[in-house]
């Protein structure tokens, strides 16, 4: 069995944090078996290294290794991607296709972002885990596969189970062994090592001298939260390597490349704002819109009463409750002056003689219906507007926009396609 240090060198893993070493040790121990493994951790911590270690140290190392990003495949096609389909199974299925579980027979499949799988697909996956059987989309023939499954997620699985977005029985089948990768903020002693490695790599890539950090700059990067973990640290090292002329970076220069405030990414395990919070905000917004529509209709009704009768006092008396609802307080007698402006809006009625033959068959107040149509509030338009604003705010990054809107990335993808954005 290879040592932890040898595995790190082989797979390019940097760091000596005890939690990281324990994760690698568990991967080495479980590799010779066929046990299902669930890798957990925040976005950007390097979860994809563990499945590679497990595959390469197993008896399946000569078989196929397929990594599947479950969150990037549209809900309507993911069953076909994983399990294959028969010719004519759906529109566009012009030929039979083998899925990943058939192609990887005898090897390993890495299901990244497994928490994003639709419930129907979870049922199919559970059957594969239990007895190695699956059925292609559009087929009735049961097929067998001998695949080792390693899954990864940055979702809090217990919360997903509680919200009925993930099957509890599937979770326990996947997590026979749970390997957690610690976030970068818990590996402070590794941060400078990683930065130096990235700086060296970018110096070779862009053919320029390697950047170095002063002692105060090292202190800054070790204290920074790094919500994006290794991915964020790598991006910062690349920016500094390319943009800075002075190859010695002090604390002041470094701070210019770090966010002023820490914001949790939507992919972290414990988010500061849950999806239910966004759902509540949407419900409040919709309620406000419906209330606005109701108030507009009440004002139209009141205006029409004034136009028909021409008697302000009588209208005020008959509609006292409606007026109080609109203005929020009982109306006094001197409020009648407030309706004088509305009288100006009244369209003079035509006399009977002034109507032509077609006009006699029309409602005198057909224009009121046109006003109603023009001012109708469309939830679809509001939804489109919110999606556009969120995408603009996050510079087209669908994952961030989906988290802000409180919907899954797959649902946002479908909405973008629906509205042709």
Q: Is residue 152 part of a domain?
A: yes
Question: Rounded mean pLDDT of 406-419?
Answer: 82
Inform me whether the pLDDT recorded for 378 exceeds 70.
no
CB 123 within 8 A of CB 130: no
Confidence class of residue 275 from pLDDT cuts 50, 70 and 90? Answer: low
Q: Is residue 264 part of a domain?
A: no
User: Which has more pLDDT, 260 or 107?
Assistant: 107
Q: Do both 90 and 40 map to the same domain?
A: yes
Listed residues 120, 152, 182: the one ending a domain: 182
Which residue is listed with tokens 């990887």? Answer: 104
Residues 6 or more apart in contact with residue 365 via CB below 8 angstroms: 304, 307, 308
Q: Is residue 266 part of a domain?
A: no
Confidence class of residue 1 from pLDDT cuts 50, 70 and 90? Answer: low
CB 7 within 8 A of CB 24: yes
Q: Is residue 272 part of a domain?
A: no
Task: Name the DSSP class of 332.
Answer: P
Q: Give the domain CATH number at 48.
A: 3.40.50.300
Q: Is residue 267 part of a domain?
A: no
pLDDT at 371: 40
CB atoms within 10 A of CB 141: 7
Q: Do both 207 and 62 map to the same domain?
A: no
Residue 63 to residue 104: CA distance in whole angstroms: 7
Confidence class of residue 412 from pLDDT cuts 50, 70 and 90? Answer: confident
Q: Looking at 56-60, 179-183, 263-267, which range is the least confident one?
A: 263-267
Confidence class of residue 387 from pLDDT cuts 50, 70 and 90? Answer: confident
Q: Do both 238 and 169 map to the same domain?
A: no
Inform me whether the pLDDT recorded for 376 exceeds 90.
no
Residues 6 or more apart in contact with residue 231 via CB below 8 angstroms: 43, 44
Inform me whether the pLDDT recorded for 391 exceeds 60.
yes
Give me the domain span that covers residue 9.
4-182
Inform me whether the pLDDT recorded for 265 exceeds 60.
no
Q: Looking at 68-72, 211-215, 267-271, 303-307, which range is the least confident one?
A: 267-271
Cα dihedral angle (123, 126, 132, 135), rounded to 10 degrees?
Answer: 10
Residues 282-306, buried b or exposed e (16+ Cβ, 10 A)? beeeeeeeeeeeeeeeeeeebbebb
Q: Do both 9 and 148 map to the same domain?
A: yes
**Token output for 363:** 């409602």
Q: Do both 156 and 202 map to the same domain?
A: no
Element (H, E) at 398: helix 398-405
pLDDT at 7: 94
Q: Do both 18 and 135 map to the same domain?
A: yes
Residues 223-262, buried b or exposed e (16+ Cβ, 10 A)? ebbbbbbbebbbebbbebbeeeeeeebeeebbeeeeeeee
pLDDT at 350: 47
Q: Do both 168 and 281 map to the same domain?
A: no
pLDDT at 318: 67
Listed residues 182, 213, 242: the one ending a domain: 182
Confidence class of residue 89 from pLDDT cuts 50, 70 and 90? Answer: confident
Percent of the chain with pLDDT over 70: 78
User: Which has more pLDDT, 60 or 302?
Assistant: 60
Residue (of 227, 193, 229) closest to 213 by Cα position: 193
User: What is the number of structural domains in the chain?
Assistant: 4
Confidence class of residue 282 from pLDDT cuts 50, 70 and 90? Answer: confident
Q: Is residue 345 part of a domain?
A: yes
Inform me whether the pLDDT recorded for 389 exceeds 90.
no
- Can you list the alpha helix ranges (DSSP code H) found in 132-244? 157-162, 168-174, 188-206, 215-223, 229-243
Q: Do both 385 and 414 map to the same domain?
A: yes
Which residue is listed with tokens 């609109």? Answer: 326
pLDDT at 294: 77
Residues 6 or more apart in contact with residue 53 via CB below 8 angstroms: 7, 11, 24, 27, 28, 31
Percent of the chain with pLDDT over 90: 58
Inform me whether the pLDDT recorded for 353 exceeds 90.
no
Cα dihedral angle (348, 353, 358, 361), rounded to 10 degrees?
Answer: 80
User: Which has more pLDDT, 339 or 141?
Assistant: 141
pLDDT at 328: 58
Residue 104 to residue 358: CA distance in whole angstroms: 75
Residue 316 to residue 307: CA distance in whole angstroms: 13
For 180-197, write each residue's pLDDT tens digit.
999 999 999 999 999 999
What is the average pLDDT value for the chain, to the nearest integer? 83
Residue (of 7, 111, 102, 12) closest to 63 by Cα position: 102
Whether the model pTM is above 0.75 = no
Q: Do both 225 and 303 map to the same domain?
A: no
Question: Rounded mean pLDDT of 355-376?
Answer: 46
Residue 50 to residue 54: CA distance in whole angstroms: 6
Inform me whether the pLDDT recorded for 374 exceeds 50.
no
Which residue is listed with tokens 């309620």? Answer: 287
Q: Give the domain CATH number at 405.
A: 1.10.10
Cα dihedral angle (337, 342, 343, 348), rounded to 10 degrees?
Answer: 180
First to last CA, the chain: 53
Residue (of 57, 67, 6) closest to 33 by Cα position: 57
Listed residues 182, 207, 236: the one ending a domain: 182
pLDDT at 284: 80
Q: Is residue 269 part of a domain?
A: no
CB 242 within 8 A of CB 272: no
Q: Give the domain CATH number at 240.
A: 1.10.8.60
CB 377 within 8 A of CB 370: no
Q: Do both 299 and 319 map to the same domain?
A: yes
Inform me whether the pLDDT recorded for 346 exceeds 70.
no
Question: Rounded mean pLDDT of 271-299?
Answer: 70
For helices 409-419 and 398-405, the axis angle rounded to 10 degrees is 100
pLDDT at 273: 52
Inform me whether the pLDDT recorded for 119 exceeds 80.
yes
Inform me whether the pLDDT recorded for 81 exceeds 80.
yes
Q: Is residue 263 part of a domain?
A: no
Residue (of 5, 11, 9, 14) closest to 234 by Cα position: 14
Q: Do both 241 and 177 map to the same domain?
A: no
Q: Which of 16-25, 260-269, 361-370, 393-402 has the highest mean pLDDT?
A: 16-25
User: Which has more pLDDT, 247 or 264?
Assistant: 247
Q: Do both 102 and 59 map to the same domain?
A: yes
pLDDT at 140: 92
């Amino acid at each position: 069995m290879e040592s932890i240090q040898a595995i790190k060198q082989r797979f390019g893993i940097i760091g000596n944090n005890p939690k990281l070493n324990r994760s690698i040790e568990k991967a080495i121990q479980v590799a010779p078996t066929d046990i299902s493994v669930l890798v957990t951790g925040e976005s950007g911590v390097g979860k994809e290294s563990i499945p590679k270690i497990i595959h390469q140290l197993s008896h399946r190392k000569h078989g196929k290794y397929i990594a599947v990003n479950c969150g990037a495949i549209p809900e309507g096609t993911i069953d076909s991607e994983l399990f294959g389909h028969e010719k004519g199974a759906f529109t566009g299925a012009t030929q039979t296709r083998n899925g990943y579980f058939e192609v990887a027979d005898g090897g390993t499949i890495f299901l990244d972002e497994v928490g994003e799988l639709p419930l129907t697909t979870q049922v199919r996956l559970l059957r594969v885990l239990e007895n190695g059987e699956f059925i292609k989309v559009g087929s009735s023939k049961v097929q067998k596969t001998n695949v080792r499954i390693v899954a990864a997620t940055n979702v809090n699985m217990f919360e997903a189970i509680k919200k009925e977005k993930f099957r509890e029985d599937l979770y326990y089948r996947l997590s026979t062994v749970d390997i957690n990768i610690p976030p970068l903020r818990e590996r402070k002693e590794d941060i400078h090592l990683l930065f130096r490695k990235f700086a060296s790599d970018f110096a070779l890539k862009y053919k320029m001298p390697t950047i170095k950090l002063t002692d105060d700059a090292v202190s800054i990067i070790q204290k920074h939260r790094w919500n994006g973990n290794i991915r964020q640290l790598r991006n910062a090292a690349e920016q500094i390597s390319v943009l800075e002329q002075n190859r010695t970076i002090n604390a002041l220069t470094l701070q210019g490349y770090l966010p002023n405030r820490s914001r949790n990414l939507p992919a972290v395990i414990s988010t500061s704002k849950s999806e239910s919070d966004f759902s509540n905000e949407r419900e409040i917004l919709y309620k406000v819109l419906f209330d606005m529509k109701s108030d507009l209709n009440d004002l139209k009704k009141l205006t029409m009463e004034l136009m028909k009768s021409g008697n302000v006092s009588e209208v005020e008396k008959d509609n006292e409750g409606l007026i109080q609802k609109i203005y929020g307080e009982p109306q006094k007698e001197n409020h009648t002056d407030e309706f004088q402006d509305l009288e100006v809006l009244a369209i003079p009625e035509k006399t009977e003689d002034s109507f032509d033959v077609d006009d006699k068959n029309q409602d005198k107040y057909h224009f009121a219906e046109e006003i109603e149509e023009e001012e109708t509030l469309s939830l679809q338009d509001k939804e489109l507007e919110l999606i556009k604003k969120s995408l603009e705010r996050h510079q087209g990054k669908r994952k961030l926009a989906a988290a802000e809107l409180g919907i899954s990335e797959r649902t946002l993808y479908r909405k973008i396609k629906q509205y042709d954005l």
